[in-house]
């Protein structure tokens, strides 16, 4: 018995199966080649290497493009660049001198942390990092740490640069000493990325973490709540353009920054890091500007002429969400007369429901009646007035009239609203003794 016969017996194939001919084998091989060619045709075509504009040029020292200095401490040495923006300088549509007017009570509401209200604006540390990767992990380091703070009417930024991996400990030690002098932290998406990454690096370098115990205002979340409703997204770059009026020219995309650092490690050409330093510095200054702008939305006397009413409506919602009562009522009362019909209508709705929850029925009903007078087919006003008449006043006739009118005249009712009003109308018929 041949080996093939034994295999047929093991696999259960009939022994009379026809032997594969040479032409059959060639056909099978051709089919396999065809499939391989199809797979290879779907692979992306490799792009030719991008020409290196610095190839053949002399290396430029970092000090020639970033006028910083080498700093030493008990952990080693690193590079530090400091910049001070005077009060008269501008950042987008804002003046640096406005930064010192930061309302810390508003900042406490933004961060949902009452400890911030007890701090002075000069005690805050604004922080942003540039890292060797965007996904985190123990192998990712923050090679450039940008920090800033208010100093009188000026704003100071410092950028802590680890020129290679061996300088990370010295960089972190400097940040540790700097953070010990501050009482709160401000970041943009720092709770999800920067602070966690730095905490890991402090542990890896056996250094105490000075950031973990600080009250932390992460600007991403209040930005989404207060401004995100009218923006394509809530990235810092978008907020800079649409809210702060800042246009960056020649800015390096954040996704390219890790590779820039790796290129720097190989070449030590300062031009590779020049754009990275400027990108990081602008991020820090923009955070300070954005903090002032968001705090103004929550101020006791917001500028109704200058600030978008949609943002003030979002601020009223945030006040209410944080458990405030007087301030959202005051703000909503002003917005009821807004020239923006959508804002005015939504303000009336929210304020009336606030009164309803507190059983301040007179104020709530006044708003519903005013809304009904403007539009007798306003679904919200009709529903709330019908509830009031039926359950509080026992005035079934008025409730029936309100609901019947909107069902007859309300041409733009959604199917869901129409079904709900029909159900209410049938119940009111029964209560009126009509069946």
Three-state DSSP state, 243: helix
Whole-Å CA distances, 166 to 89, 153, 162, 205, 265:
37, 37, 8, 11, 12
pLDDT at 128 over 90: yes
Mean of the per-residue pLDDT values for the chain? 90
**Among the listed ranges 6-15, 151-160, 375-384, which one has the minimum average pLDDT value?**
6-15
| Predicted pLDDT of residue 44 | 54
Q: Which residues contact 89 (CB under 8 A, 6 or more apart)?
A: 95, 96
Percent of the chain exceeding pLDDT 70 equals: 90
Q: Give the residue among 153, 124, 135 at the shortest CA–CA distance from 219.
A: 124
Q: How confident is the model at residue 6 (pLDDT cuts 50, 70, 90)?
A: low
pLDDT exceeds 90 at position 135: no
Residue 435 has pLDDT above 70, yes or no: no
| pLDDT digits 0-9 by tens, 7-43 | 566 566 565 545 567 677 777 788 878 777 777 666 5
Q: Which two tokens stand for residue 191?
A: 């709770």
Confidence of residue 100 (pLDDT cuts 50, 70, 90): confident
Residue 47 has pLDDT above 80, yes or no: no
Tokens of 234: 């809530």
94-111 mean pLDDT: 89
Q: Mean pLDDT lowest for which of 100-104, 145-149, 194-198, 363-367? A: 100-104
Q: Say which residues have a Cβ less than 8 Å from residue 340's Cβ, sequence separation at least 6.
A: 309, 310
pLDDT in tens, 241-250: 999 999 998 8
Query: What's the pLDDT tens digit per position in 161-178?
Result: 999 999 999 999 999 999
pLDDT per residue over 342-371, tens digit each?
999 999 999 999 999 999 999 999 999 999
According to the model, what pLDDT value does residue 91 have?
A: 93
> With bands split at pLDDT 50, 70 and 90, how would you rate the model's confidence at 99?
confident
| DSSP-assigned letter for residue 219 | T
Residue 60: pLDDT band with limits 50, 70, 90: very high
CA-nearest of 261, 29, 235 to 142 is: 261
Give all domains of the chain, ordered by start, each with its CATH number.
62-297 (3.30.420.10), 371-435 (no CATH)
Stated pTM of the model = 0.80
Instruction: Give the pLDDT mean for 372-378.
Output: 95
How far is the CA of 183 from the CAs of 105, 119, 191, 318, in angstroms? 15, 7, 17, 25
Instruction: Catalogue the long-range contacts made by 134-140 (C-beta closer than 8 Å, 24 or more residues apart).
Output: 134/254, 134/255, 134/258, 136/193, 136/196, 136/197, 136/200, 138/200, 138/204, 140/197
Q: Is 141 helix (H, G, I), strand (E, B) or coil?
A: coil
Given a contact cutoff of 8 angstroms between Cβ atoms, the answer to whether 157 and 285 are in contact is yes
pLDDT exceeds cutoff 70 at 3: no
Q: What is the pLDDT of residues 311-339, one digit of tens each?
A: 999 999 999 888 888 999 999 999 999 99
- Pairing relation of β-strands 124-131 and 142-151? antiparallel
pLDDT band at 136 (very low <50, low <70, confident <90, very high): low
46 pLDDT exceeds 60? no
What dihedral do alpha carbons 255, 260, 265, 268 form, nearest 10°? -160
Q: Can you list the positions of beta strands (E) in 43-178?
A: 69-73, 76-85, 90-91, 94-95, 124-131, 142-151, 154-161
Is there a contact between 124 and 288 (Cβ–Cβ < 8 Å)? no
Read off the pLDDT of each residue in 71-79 and give the average, rounded to a whole number.
97
Closest CA to 125 of 201, 230, 216: 216
């Amino acid at each position: 018995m041949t080996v093939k016969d034994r295999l047929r017996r093991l696999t259960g194939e009939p022994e009379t199966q026809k032997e594969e001919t040479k032409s059959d084998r060639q056909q099978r091989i051709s089919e396999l080649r065809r499939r391989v060619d199809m797979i290879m045709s779907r692979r992306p075509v490799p792009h030719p290497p991008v020409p290196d504009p610095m190839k053949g040029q002399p290396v430029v020292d970092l000090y020639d493009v970033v006028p910083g200095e080498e700093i030493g401490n008990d952990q080693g040495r690193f590079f530090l660049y400091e910049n001070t923006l005077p009060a008269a300088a501008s950042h987008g549509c804002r003046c640096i001198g406005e930064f010192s007017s930061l309302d810390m009570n508003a900042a406490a509401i933004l961060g949902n942390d009452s400890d911030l209200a007890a701090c002075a604006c000069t005690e805050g540390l604004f922080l942003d990092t540039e890292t060797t990767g965007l996904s985190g992990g123990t192998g990712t380091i923050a090679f450039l740490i940008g920090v800033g703070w208010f100093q009188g009417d000026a704003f100071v930024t410092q950028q802590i640069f680890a020129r290679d991996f061996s300088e990370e400990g010295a960089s972190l030690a400097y940040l540790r000493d700097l953070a010990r002098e501050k009482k709160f932290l401000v970041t943009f998406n720092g709770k999800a990325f920067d602070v966690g990454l730095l905490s890991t690096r402090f542990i890896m370098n056996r250094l105490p973490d000075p950031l973990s115990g600080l009250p932390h205002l992460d600007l991403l979340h209040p930005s989404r709540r207060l401004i995100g409703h009218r923006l394509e997204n809530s990235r810092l770059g978008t907020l800079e353009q649409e809210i702060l009026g800042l246009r960056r020219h020649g800015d390096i995309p954040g996704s390219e920054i890790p590779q820039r650092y790796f290129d720097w490690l190989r070449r030590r050409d300062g031009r590779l890091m020049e754009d990275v330093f400027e990108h990081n510095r602008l991020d820090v200054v923009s955070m300070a500007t954005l903090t002032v702008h968001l705090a103004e939305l929550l101020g006791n006397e917001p500028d109704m002429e200058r600030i978008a009413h949609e943002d003030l409506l979002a601020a009223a919602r945030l006040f209410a969400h944080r458990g405030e009562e007087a301030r959202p009522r005051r703000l909503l009362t002003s917005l009821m007369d807004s020239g923006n019909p959508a804002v005015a209508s939504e303000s009336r709705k929210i304020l009336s429901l606030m009164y309803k929850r507190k059983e301040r029925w007179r104020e709530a009903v006044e708003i519903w009646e005013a809304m009904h007078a403007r539009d007798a087919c306003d679904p919200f006003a009709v529903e709330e007035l019908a509830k009031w008449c039926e359950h509080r006043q026992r005035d079934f006739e008025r409730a029936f009239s309100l609901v019947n009118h909107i069902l007859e005249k309300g041409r733009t009712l959604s199917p869901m609203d129409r079904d709900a009003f029909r159900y209410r109308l049938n119940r009111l018929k029964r209560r009126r003794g009509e069946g």
